[in-house]
Chains A and B, each alone.
Chain A
C-alpha cells in the first residue's frame, strides 16, 4: 500500500534554531497536509498544500509541495519552547475506490530553552 516516510523521527534542538523535516513517498499525492499534535490532544492542521511546487507559510512555518508530488517538507524558523510536539505529514490520494489520508509516522520535536 501507499506509505509515507517521514524523517527525522525526533529532533532535540536549542531554542532559536531552525528546524526542517520532510516526507517522501513512492506514490503521487494530490494534497499534502502538515499537522502538529501535543500530548493528549488531537492533531491540529498547520498547513495545506494543493499544487506541485507550492510554497506556503503560516507564521514561522513554511511548507512546500514537492514538484514530483511525491514529497513535502516543513520548516520551522526560530524555534520556541511551545513548538514542542509531534509533527505529522499526511498525503491525500485515491486508494481503491475512495480518497484517503495517509499519515507519516511523525517527527517528535523537543526544544531546549
Chain B
C-alpha cells in the first residue's frame, strides 16, 4: 500500500511566523505535490516536484516555497504566514497517473 504521511494533523501559527509542513512517502515515487483545499474553491495546486531538487509552480504559488532535498520528502514553507493561508494542506505523491494523498494538515493562522 502507498503511504503518504504529513508531519502534523493540526497546526496553529501566528501571523508572520515561518511555517514548515513536511510530507514523506515510502514508495520511491518521483513526483510529489502540495495542494490546499478550501470550501467552495476545491483543491488547488501550490507546487509540485518531478525529482529531487526540482520544483515547479502550480496554480497558486504566491506566499509559498518548497524544498525537495530527498526523494521521499517534500516540504512546503510559508515564509511569513498570513491569515489567508488558513486552510487544509494536502500532500500527494504520484504513481503512473494516480495521486495518493496524505491525511492533511489543518493550518490555522491567527
**Interfacial residues, chain A to chain B (CB-CB below 8 A):** 30-31, 33, 35, 40-45, 48, 50, 88, 90, 92, 98-101, 103-106
Contact = CB atoms under 8 A, between A and B. Distances in A.
Given A98-B56, A106-B42, A45 B104 contact: no
Interface residues of B, number: 18
Contacts of B103: 41-42
Given A40-B104, A41-B104, A101 B56 contact: no
27 contacts: A30-B97, A31-B96, A31-B97, A31-B98, A33-B97, A33-B98, A35-B101, A40-B104, A40-B106, A42-B4, A42-B90, A42-B101, A42-B103, A42-B104, A45-B99, A48-B96, A50-B97, A88-B43, A90-B99, A92-B97, A99-B97, A101-B45, A101-B97, A101-B99, A103-B42, A104-B42, A105-B42
Contacts of A33: 97-99
A101 B100 CA distance: 12
Contacts of B99: 33, 45, 90, 101
A44 B103 CA distance: 9
A57 to B, nearest CB: 17
